């Protein structure tokens, strides 16, 4: 709980642990490629933009 000039309020804490997109199981990839050989918009976006969602450390200590 945090006290402010407006009174007590709850604050949600965030974790800055790096993580990327979760891995897609190989059977799921195979089934999706079989069903949609040219891919769907969502599949193409994930394939192209996956590297954008990779967390990298913003600063280094040491």
Give residue-wise pLDDT tens across range 5-15.
Answer: 555 556 666 66
Tell me how far apart the alpha carbons of residues 35 and 27 are, in angstroms, rounded to a whole number.
12
- Cβ-in-10-Å burial (0-12, 13-18, 19+) of 60 comes to exposed
Tokens 């949609």, located at residue: 36
Q: Is the pLDDT of residue 54 over 60?
A: yes
| pTM of the full structure | 0.53
* Residues recorded for the chain: 62
Q: How distant is the alpha carbon of residue 15 from its chain centre? A: 13
Banded model confidence at residue 49, pLDDT cuts 50, 70, 90: confident
């Amino acid at each position: 709980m945090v006290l402010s000039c407006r009174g007590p309020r709850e604050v949600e804490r965030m974790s800055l642990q790096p993580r990327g997109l979760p891995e897609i199981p190989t059977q799921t990839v195979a089934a999706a490629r079989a069903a949609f050989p040219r891919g769907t918009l969502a599949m193409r976006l994930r394939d192209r933009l996956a590297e954008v969602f990779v967390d990298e450390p913003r600063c280094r200590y040491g």
